[in-house]
Chains A and B, each alone.
Chain A
Amino acid sequence: MAASTLERPLAARPSTWFVWAGMTAFGVFLVGILVAVVVDSFGRQWFDTWLPEGLTTDRYTEAWDRFALGEVVGVTVGVAALVVVISVLVGVPAAYVLARRDFPGKRAIMLLFLLPVLMPPITYGIPLATVMYSFGLGRTLTAVVLVNLVPSVPFVILTMTPFIEQINPAIESAARMCGARTRQVFTRILAPLLVPGILAAAILVLVRTVGLFELTFLVSGPGSDTLVVAIYRGMTSAGGGEARQLISAMSVIYTATMLVMLVVALRFVNPTQLVAQVKETRDD
């Protein structure tokens, strides 16, 4: 890193060195973990050596058949897509009202939407799962989708509310003054302006839903397990778990799925802009 391109040489202070050292350690762990899993998944046998003895892709076909991964991936993608669509349809209109209107009980409603995000998933997950089982929904896809809506809908509301707030309300007024009816204001004016925000929220919900373990685990069963849950079950199944390499192969499939979605997400939004607008230090 040539110092000339920096606003100020980063290496100038001991504190900076400390930060870099910490980040290097973090990076080593991160890359180590990732590479270890990938190497393991392609390894024929790997015990007391630096690298496994020989490489193979057999683990993938084996894991695919053994855990019915075709079905599991299908369930994962299907559940995620449904959850995304429902939470956007339900969450965006609610976010619109919360961003634009002042009415009695607004604070209480805000709190109601904030609670599921602040509470540990297990806290509401266990009573919710109990209710699901008592309604005969246990281990069904319906239950998995419903359970995932609990954090997703508030998540969409909480991310979309500030996004809608920053759209000048006079724009909607202007559309009305031009003779647009409520539906036209939504379809012709608001929808195009909301697309980036909805896209960002949708992709984050997708990533969250695919990664959410606790809630899905409580209500899913054979045929409704998502990928994370299948991996967990594989690692903890009776008799010390499945062969390590099979789990690794499954984990790599999971990460690849996730990575593809996140790369797509980052093309549309800068993650650091979700909480506040970023003003990068201008070099003037």
Chain B
Amino acid sequence: MSGGGQQTGRATASLRHRLAERGIDPTLLLLVPGLVVALALFVYPFSYGIGLTVQPTAAMQEQWGGGILANYVAFFRDPFVFDSVWLTMRLALPAALFNVLASVPVAMVLRHRFRGKRLLTSLLVLPITLGTVLTAQGLLIFAGRQGWINRALLEFGLIDEPLKLVNNYLGVMFSLVITGFPFAFLLISSYLSGIDPSLERAAKTLGAGWWQRFRRIILPLLAPGLATTFVLTFVLAFSVFPSARLVGDAMGETRVMSLMAFRAFGEQNDYAMASTIALMMGAVELLVVVAVLGLRSLLYRGTTGGKG
């Protein structure tokens, strides 16, 4: 195709041929609306935000120095802001890990047919309808000082005074598990159902016990799905915002990055600093995602059982 010495001698025909070879035809126009949305509402604001981060307010420059990079200096130097990275990770990583690991046995058990399966699956999916805000409200009432949990534990004499289950780290963790677990469960069970059941039966005929079947057959086939699910669950937990504010300790141990970003945006009206924190949030998350996906491709090279 390099020479362009088309025998047809007709410019239109040879252009048509060249485009055809590259797979370009009018159908591609169907992509345009989607691209416009992505460019106008995602790429443009995002670049604009990056531009904003290097236009710090005068107050920021004065306080932290660093010229146009004052916002970044502030992000790394200001312990009140920087500690939020650690505080976010401390919530998101264990929550995502727990949700994924707990989903595997549950999905394994629910894989088989039994009476009441539909009911149980629906129950597990229910929290999706609750949303973070209602979960927060419910936790405050149910697990609060005078809530049913503490009341029951006191009644049975298991504790002497009410446990502090909300307005702290534990409260946010509860909320992350309640909203994140069903999501992880749904994904894991669909990955699990993508694994051909005859593989396990084949292993059974070869004399593998249930643990060996799980360890040697299911787990390797599920590994890519586990990584994907972990990533998606982590993303969900990482952007925790309403629950950190409502059932956490917003200025203390659950002072997560999104709260800090919103504080700069909504309360201090420092859009430049808000964008900086938001971008750093994306960067930190991306680091974890890349690490997990890298680990996945390092450990597993075969075809996946299910899709993805």
Contacts and interface: CB of A to CB of B under 8 A. Distances in A.
Direct touch of chains A and B (CB < 8 A): yes
B239 A214 contact: yes
A1 B115 contact: yes
Interface string A269-280: 001111111111
Interface residues of B, number: 105
A73 to B, nearest CB: 15
B41 A149 contact: yes
B85 interface: no
B94 interface: no
Contacts of B143: 32
A283 interface: yes
Contact of A236 (B31, B46, B141, B245): B245
B129 to A, nearest CB: 4
Given A122-B281, A127-B45, A94 B30 contact: yes
Contacts of A231: 133-134, 137
A282 B111 CA distance: 11
A26 B22 CA distance: 54
Interface stretch (B7-15, B59-67, B71-79, B101-109): B101-109
Interface of A: 1-2, 5-8, 10, 13, 15-16, 18-20, 22-23, 26-27, 29-30, 32-34, 36-37, 40, 47-48, 50, 89-91, 93-94, 96-98, 100-104, 109, 112-113, 115-116, 118-131, 146-147, 149-150, 153-154, 157, 162, 207, 211, 213-214, 218, 228, 231-232, 235-236, 244, 247-248, 251, 254-255, 258-259, 262, 266, 271-283
A51 to B, nearest CB: 10
Contacts of A33: 130, 134-135, 138-139, 141-142, 178
B109 A16 contact: yes
Rank and list the top 3 A-B pairs by shortest CB-CB distance, nearest first. Answer: A127-B49, A33-B138, A94-B34
A83 B262 CA distance: 24
A254 B141 contact: no
Interface in B203-247: 210, 231, 235, 238-239, 241-242, 245-246
Contact of A6 (B43, B112, B196): B112
Nearest to A13: B210
Contact of B37 (A90, A118, A266, A278): A90
